[in-house]
Chains A and B, each alone.
Chain A
Amino acid sequence: MVLDVRGLTMDFGGLRAVDHVDLQVNEGEIVALIGPNGAGKTTFFNCVTGMYVPTAGTVTIARPGTDARQITRMRPHLITAQGLARTFQNIRLFSEMTVLENVMIGRDCRLSAGILGAIVRNRKTVAEEKQVVLDSYAMLEMVGIGRWANETAKNLPYGAQRRLEIARALATEPFLLLLDEPAAGMNPQETRDLVALIRRLRTDHHLSIFLIEHDMSLVMTLSERIYVMDYGKLIAVGDPGEVRRDPSVIKAYLGEDVSA
């Protein structure tokens, strides 16, 4: 198990956005979290990645082959260093920086150069910088946007921006990738490419993938297990077939009781 969340709860004042959620991701699995707008999916992500401090509950992670460790209430940059990387629902690139530099920031937590090294440019710093450029470029090639390396990030087409977010997350060397609506705003062709990319990341790079998505056909084709959330609570878990047939899921999405 790479991610184990127990009883996660997040309150915003009087609003309980996430309510005692238990959720697991196994090694090499593609898991989806779905639910209507405002169900609390992004909030759940934010709690897991340390952007929000959860009101209650625990988050435990384990890089394959190592011991499990608690990351509840850890600061976000430390969680990322542990091997959890994410993308954002509303793309958050460093828009004035180049595409390559965006990925280089992703590499940052694996670097060691300091301020003094930057000024005197000792051999170690120079070598590290060179390696960062190459590694980052390789990430761009991997998601298929290498030719835009020196372009300003904000000038990229929309689909490529989403890919860049993935490349930037991959640069942190995660074992678990969290994608918040990676296909939002993509056309059918881009979505198909994205599905292929995600599969490739899993098989070739041994990543586990946990994604939030509204595009049901993508979710159904891609994921092995699906968690369904509504009003902060988990209402169903299962493989795509089970979830599709689950009356409470149908009710949550259609807003009426069809099982009655």
Chain B
Amino acid sequence: MSSQATTQPQPRRYLAYARRSLLVSIWFAILTFPIIVIRANTITGTITWRWHNIGWIVGGTFVGSWIWRYFLERKRAGAAATMGPLRQRLAASRAIVAQAVRRPAVARGGIAALLLLVVAFPFVGGMYQTNIMTTALLYVVLGLGLNIIIGLGGMLHIGYIAFYALGAYSYALLNFHFGLNFWLALPVGALVGGLFSLAIGIPVLRLRGDYLAIVTLAFAEITRLVLENWSSLTFGTAGIRNIPRPAIAGIRLTLPQTTTFVYFIMILMVALTIFVVNRLENSRIGRQFVAMKEDFIACQAMGVNIARTKLAALGLGGMWAGLAGVVFAARTTFINPASFTVWESIIVLCTVVLGGMGSIPGVITGALVLILVPEYLRAFAQFRMLLFGAVLVTMMVFRPGGLIQKRRRAYTISAQEKQVAGEIGDPGIQG
């Protein structure tokens, strides 16, 4: 229908949308009829017919479907061709902003403002806000870690939360049995997360795509079940209580102080994660990751050791989850297997996909949006899943690369260097 629809004159095309939308809305009305129209009162034994509801359903679906079709068609026709005056202005202003950001003075000002905001946040926002933000920051670290595996390495990993759990349990158990403190637990947690990620990586080296997804999903569930059932070690579903909060050399902090302290720990951890991931991305290993994701056969043929590259991505990704897990345990002071369900894995996966695979600002945005928006929209709590689904479907259709898409880095080669290279090549031959 696409090729036909684009060549049709405008009114005809809109009529075609309308007809299809009408069919969709009628179908939807039939589907939802039992729950929307009929209400059975089991106490009085009466049935109320709420016919007016059908009007809302038909009308709503019709308008929704029409708008959907309209945008889908525009997307097919190509954004540039149909760029209206509003979008043009938007693009122009975006270019101005991009140019301004590139100016060092503006960039420095921006960073200073961001820093101020970050530092002031716990003092202005209060304990409740700080707590929410700390949760969001945990997901930022998880998202960036998983991004190494999915966004860079191209491996669809759905069991990521298992390493988070292992990090959390490492701290909780080592502290319980041996009194290991929080600071020492951080590297231990990272190590445990990384090593377990490698350990499950080795048997699944040959798997790709859906198969890898299923195996990693199973791994996460197995981890949770082991944590639940190996009661002698993990205390089972009862979990572990009274995990010490982070502290500095014996100074006793009040609860609000600790909250602020943990917030700053997370800020530092996010900064460290961004720093490391950014460096990895712009290096030999980062290139290997992306090439492997793009075409692993060509990558192998060009001399890259795929097995080692995959394991590097898995190990590095797992480390961040373990690290975040330690902070999680220290912050909540209580952990049990219920905190580490597959649902959590899916949320982390969504932050990466929604934000933009392989893009650091994208993943940060994705994590902040996905964690903060539901917190502030508590009123809509019952529709949370519905909204979540709708947003993801819309994103996949209209912006499959995520909110902030990854741009490849451009290298600058000086004129002098170009000349040297040119002498090697033959100027007579042009592509």
Q: Hey, which bits of chain A sit against chain B, CB under 8 A?
A: 49, 51, 75-77, 80-81, 85-86, 88, 92-98, 100-101, 104-106, 108-109, 111, 113-115, 117-119, 121, 125, 128-129, 132-134, 137-138, 140-146, 148-150, 152, 157, 159-160, 163, 168-169, 171-172, 193, 196-197, 200
> What are the nearest 10 A-B pairs in CB distance?
A109-B303, A118-B283, A141-B425, A80-B303, A92-B298, A138-B421, A94-B294, A142-B425, A150-B410, A160-B431
The docked-state distance in angstroms from the alpha carbon of A241 to that of B90 is 66
A92 to B306, CA, bound (A): 16
**A residues less than 8 Å from B279 (CB atoms):** 118-119, 121
- Shortest distance between the CB of A43 and any CB in chain B (Å): 14
- Interchain CA distance A76-B276 in the complex, whole Å: 30
Give the residue among B276, B280, B300 with the most A Cβ atoms within 10 A.
B300
Q: How far is the CB of B421 from chain A (nearest CB, A)?
A: 4
Tell whether, in the assembled complex, residue B422 and residue A146 are in contact, meaning their CB atoms are under 8 Å apart: yes
The smallest C-beta distance from B103 to any residue of chain A, in angstroms, reads: 22
Alpha-carbon distance between A144 and B304 when the two chains are bound, in angstroms: 25
In the complex, the answer to whether A148 meets B300 with C-beta atoms within 8 Å is no
Are the C-beta atoms of B316 and A115 separated by less than 8 Å?
A: yes
In angstroms, Cα B409 to Cα A127, docked, is: 18
Is B123 part of the contact surface with A, judged by Cβ < 8 Å? Answer: no
The residue on A at minimum CB distance from B426 is A200
Is residue B429 contacting chain A, with contact meaning CB distance below 8 A?
A: yes
CB distance from A95 to the nearest CB of B (A): 6
| Complexed CA–CA distance, A95 and B293 (Å) | 11
Please give, as numbers and ranges, the residues of chain A lying within 8 Å of B285 by CB-CB distance.
113-115, 118
In-complex Cβ contact of B303 among A97, A106, A197 (8 A): A106
B408 and A96 contacting across the interface, CB-CB below 8 Å: yes
With known contacts A51-B301, A168-B302, A159–B431 Cβ distance under 8 A: yes
Residues of A within 8 A of B283 (CB): 113, 117-118, 125, 129
Report yes or no: A149 in contact with B408, Cβ–Cβ below 8 A.
no
Which one of B295, B413, B421, B428 lies within 8 Å of A94 (CB-CB)? B295
Residues of B within 8 A of A (CB): 276, 279-280, 283-288, 290-291, 294-295, 297-306, 312, 316, 408-411, 413, 417-418, 420-422, 424-426, 428-431
Q: Are A141 and B421 in contact (CB under 8 A)?
A: yes
With contacts A111-B284, A115-B312, A146-B421 taken as known, whether A94 is within 8 angstroms of B290 at the C-beta atoms is yes
Interface CB pairs A-B, < 8 A, 6: A94-B298, A101-B287, A113-B283, A118-B284, A119-B279, A171-B302
Q: Are B294 and A115 in contact (CB under 8 A)?
A: no
Cα distance, A143 to B421, chains bound together (Å): 11
A residues less than 8 Å from B426 (CB atoms): 142, 144, 200
Closest to A164 in B: B431
A159–B280 Cα distance when bound, in Å, is 33
B284 partner residues in chain A, CB cutoff 8 A = 108, 111, 113, 118, 128-129, 132
Residues of B within 8 A of A159 (CB): 431
Residues in A with CB closer than 8 Å to B298 are: 88, 92-94
Residues of A within 8 A of B295 (CB): 92-95
Secondary structure dominating the interface of A:
helix
Q: How far is the CB of A244 from chain B (nearest CB, A)?
A: 29
Given contacts A92-B295, A94-B290, A141-B422, contact A157 B411 (CB under 8 A): no
Q: How far is the CA of A159 from the CA of B429 in the complex (A)?
A: 12
Complex CA gap A30/B288 in Å reads: 32
> Using Cβ atoms and an 8 Å threshold, which residues of chain A touch B303?
77, 80-81, 106, 108-109, 172
Please determine whether A108 and B413 come into contact, CB atoms closer than 8 angstroms.
no
Minimum CB distance partner of B295 in chain A: A92
- Are A105 and B288 touching (Cβ within 8 A)? yes
B294 and A133 form a contact (CB under 8 A): no
Min CB distance A63 to B, Å, is: 15
Known: A98-B409, A119-B279. 20 other contacts (CB 8 A): A49-B301, A75-B300, A93-B298, A95-B294, A97-B290, A98-B411, A101-B291, A105-B304, A108-B288, A115-B285, A119-B276, A121-B279, A134-B417, A141-B422, A144-B425, A144-B429, A148-B431, A159-B431, A196-B429, A197-B429
Q: How far is the CB of A74 from chain B (nearest CB, A)?
A: 12
Contact between chains at B304 and A142 (CB < 8 Å):
no
**B408, chain A: closest CB distance, angstroms:** 5
State whether A106 touches B429 (Cβ < 8 A).
no
Q: CB-CB < 8 A to B408: which residues of A?
A: 96-98, 101, 152
Question: Which residues from chain B contact A97 at a C-beta distance below 8 Å?
Answer: 287, 290-291, 294, 408
